[in-house]
């Protein structure tokens, strides 16, 4: 940790830490076994007494986010409330990490950090929403880096930004089905609204290696968009599709729901009565 000569000095102007975050960003370590480019991110955690620490993506382990490295690797046991945090990229939002992992915005909010500055807005549709979550759920003050620093951050991440823009275009082009009510979370439902028997049958038929009511099962349903996470509260709710497939009482929400089957016995035979 770098300290001021006099630890009673107040924190420096935000610009100082913005530039430190950019320096840390340039030390980021790319992921080796990955087809897509990695974002290069630097972060700085600043304590009220003037001490600070930096981190970059992949500093200790390949793929680790800079904010995670600071809060969970370097200062897991230290009180970081009233700290400032600077990051060159908007902290990742609710959909960035597969359940039960925690996104960076949630991690920052839970740490009771008071102010966050970030450089470039998250462009990845699967990771955006960090600013909104911090402001609305945790009441954190979120501020931008100075405008002239954005260009340097973008230039250093050009390969990643180009790849994300291509991915976003492909995602939009692949959407052929309009999302309807069955793909939305259903009010006044939660995991307990689902049938244990139905879920255990699903696990058995699909030969999954996890058990009922496990984080692995929830993660599997999230990946299939059968569960949705509320960006404001973090609560997990079943979608309409999930209620129809696995609901304890699907007709409570869909009274018109029914299953129809046609049996062909061949040779015009009638079923036994």
> pLDDT tens for residues 135-165?
999 999 999 999 999 999 999 999 999 999 9
Statement to judge: residues 201 and 96 lie in one domain: no
Handedness of CA 229, 231, 235, 240 (dihedral sign): negative
Q: Tell me if 266 is assigned to some domain.
A: no
Q: Nearest 5°: phi and psi at 53? A: -145, 145
Query: Is the per-residue pLDDT at 273 higher than 70?
Result: no
Distance from C-alpha of 127 to C-alpha of 125, rounded to nearest angstrom: 6
Statement to judge: residues 205 and 160 lie in one domain: no
Q: Tell me if 152 is assigned to some domain.
A: yes
91-95, 115-119, 123-127: which has the minimum mean pLDDT?
123-127
> pLDDT tens for residues 193-219?
999 999 999 999 888 888 888 888 888
Please answer whether residues 143 and 112 qualify as being in contact, where contact means their C-beta atoms are separated by less than 8 angstroms: no
> pLDDT tens for residues 162-192?
999 998 888 777 654 556 778 888 888 988 8
Statement to judge: residues 95 and 155 lie in one domain: yes
Tokens matching residue 85 = 């945090």
The total number of structural domains in the chain stands at 2
- Confidence label for 18 from pLDDT (cuts 50, 70 and 90): very high
CA 219 to chain centre: 12
Q: Tell me if 169 is assigned to some domain.
A: yes
pLDDT, position 257? 78
Mean pLDDT of 82-110: 91
Query: Is the per-residue pLDDT at 261 higher than 50?
Result: yes
Query: Is the per-residue pLDDT at 91 higher than 90?
Result: yes
Going by their DSSP bridges, the two strands 84-89 and 42-46 should be labelled as antiparallel
Mean pLDDT of 83-90: 97
Identify the domain containing residue 214 by its residue range. Answer: 181-252
Domain boundary (147, 174, 201) is at 174
pLDDT, position 234? 79
Distance from C-alpha of 255 to C-alpha of 258, rounded to nearest angstrom: 8
Statement to judge: residues 167 and 205 lie in one domain: no
> pLDDT tens for residues 1-10?
655 444 454 7
pLDDT, position 5? 46
Statement to judge: residues 106 and 217 lie in one domain: no
> pLDDT tens for residues 35-63?
889 999 999 999 999 999 999 999 999 99
Average pLDDT across the chain, whole number: 88
pLDDT, position 8? 55
pLDDT, position 219? 86
> pLDDT tens for residues 229-258?
887 787 889 999 999 999 999 988 888 877
Statement to judge: residues 188 and 64 lie in one domain: no
């Amino acid at each position: 940790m770098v300290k001021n000569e006099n630890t009673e000095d107040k924190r420096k102007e935000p610009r100082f830490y913005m530039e430190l975050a950019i320096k840390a960003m340039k030390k980021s370590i790319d992921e080796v076994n990955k087809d897509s480019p990695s974002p290069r991110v630097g972060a700085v955690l600043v304590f009220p007494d003037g001490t600070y620490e930096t981190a970059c993506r992949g500093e200790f382990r390949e793929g680790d986010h800079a904010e995670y490295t600071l809060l969970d690797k370097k200062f897991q046991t230290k009180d970081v409330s009233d700290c400032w945090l600077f990051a060159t990229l908007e902290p990742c939002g609710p959909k960035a990490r597969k359940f039960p992992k925690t996104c960076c915005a949630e991690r920052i909010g839970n740490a009771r950090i008071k102010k966050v500055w970030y450089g470039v807005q998250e462009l990845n549709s699967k990771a955006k929403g960090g600013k909104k979550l911090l402001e609305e759920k945790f009441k954190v003050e979120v501020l931008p880096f100075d405008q002239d620093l954005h260009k340097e951050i973008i230039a250093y991440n050009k390969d990643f930004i180009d790849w994300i823009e291509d991915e976003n275009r492909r995602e939009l082009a692949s959407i052929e089905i309009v999302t309807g009510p069955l793909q939305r979370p259903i009010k006044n439902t939660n995991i307990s609204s689902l049938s244990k028997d139905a879920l255990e049958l699903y696990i058995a038929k699909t030969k999954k290696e996890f058990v009922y009511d496990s984080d692995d099962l929830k993660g599997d349903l999230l990946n299939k968009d059968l569960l949705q996470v509320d960006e404001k509260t973090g609560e997990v709710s079943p979608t309409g599709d999930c209620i129809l497939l696995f609901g304890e009482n699907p007709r409570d929400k869909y009274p018109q729901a029914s299953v129809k089957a046609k049996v062909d016995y061949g040779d015009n035979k009638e079923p036994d009565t």
